[in-house]
Copies of this chain bind each other. A is one copy, B any other.
Amino acid sequence: MAMAYAALSTINEQADRRANAAATGCANCAARDLSVCGAMPSGDMSRVASIVSHRRADAGETLLSEGDKAMHFLNIVDVTVKVYKLLPDGRRQITGFLYPGDLLGLAFNDTYTSTVEALTPVKYCLFPRRQFERVVDEFRPMEKQLLARASNELVAAQEQMVMLGRKTAQEKIASFLMALLQRARRVNKASDSVVLTMTRSDIADYLGLTTETVSRGFTRLKTEGWIELCAGGKVRIRDTEALAELAAGADC
């Protein structure tokens, strides 16, 4: 579960059509239980709904940029976005991919410290920062929820550091696939495949590698019979055991 700038939650279609509609939208939000809004009692959801506005963005569109004034708290929605930071010469590090229910934490700083870009057409909720903070003040469980998420995010970030600092290219790729698989299994328990909505270049920038190395890594996993590359970016994991062991960094 990535935490960076916003929480991702699916807005249902009706709510989206009448954007800024106060009453019904948020209470019926498909991703409500996934997001911080899950901490709100149903009866009080109108309080949230009253400050939210709903937006959509096309693939490749930038939702917010590093360095911008943090005016809003984003609660992202449908499908996936990537969060990244750039070095002056253009080197890029993707710090996370966000899915529905994930939280965008940099809302607590004055300026955004990363850039967020849509991987696919995406729907998201926008909370004016001050108002969102007021709602959090009013509903203590929401604050607790935020703290719990932040804590989880920190643990995930440390895991990510181990990966970036100490794993080999092959282990990084295996780790990436296993993380995606575990996410898929939270939705569909018996799933044995993942869909890569991001490009090889995105994966490379997430793992601290080059696109070529990522490509070769996938090929090698394929020739070893551990994965299968299907159409539409779908990857079927054929040997979960082996992949998990590689991902964990076993001594071979």
A198 at the interface (CB under 8 A from B): no
Do A106 and B150 have beta carbons less than 8 Å apart?
A: no
B-chain residues with CB within 8 Å of residue A158 when the two chains form the complex: 4, 85, 95, 113-114, 157
B-chain residues with CB within 8 Å of residue A144 when the two chains form the complex: 143
Choose, from A124-132, A159-167, A179-187, A222-230, the stretch at the interface: A159-167
Do A165 and B89 have beta carbons less than 8 Å apart?
A: no
Do B165 and A208 have beta carbons less than 8 Å apart?
A: yes
Number of copies: 2
A19 at the interface (CB under 8 A from B): no
Smallest distance from the beta carbon of A2 to chain B beta carbons, Å?
10
Smallest distance from the beta carbon of A125 to chain B beta carbons, Å?
19
B-chain residues with CB within 8 Å of residue A89 when the two chains form the complex: 249-252
Known: A88-B250, A249-B89. A106 touches B151 (CB 8 A): yes
Do A166 and B92 have beta carbons less than 8 Å apart?
A: yes
Smallest distance from the beta carbon of A205 to chain B beta carbons, Å?
8
A207 at the interface (CB under 8 A from B): yes
Do A154 and B88 have beta carbons less than 8 Å apart?
A: no
A75 at the interface (CB under 8 A from B): no
A101 at the interface (CB under 8 A from B): no
B-chain residues with CB within 8 Å of residue A155 when the two chains form the complex: 106, 109, 113
Do B105 and A151 have beta carbons less than 8 Å apart?
A: yes
Q: CB-CB contacts of A94-133 with B at 8 A, as 1s and 0s? A: 0100000000011111000110000000000000000000
A3 at the interface (CB under 8 A from B): yes
B-chain residues with CB within 8 Å of residue A93 when the two chains form the complex: 161-162, 165-166
Known: A106-B155, A154-B105. A165 touches B207 (CB 8 A): yes
A61 at the interface (CB under 8 A from B): no
Query: Could you list 20 A-B pairs, sorted by A, with CB under 8 Å?
Result: A3-B154, A85-B161, A87-B166, A88-B250, A89-B250, A91-B166, A91-B249, A93-B166, A95-B162, A105-B150, A108-B147, A108-B148, A143-B143, A146-B147, A147-B150, A153-B154, A157-B158, A157-B160, A161-B164, A166-B205
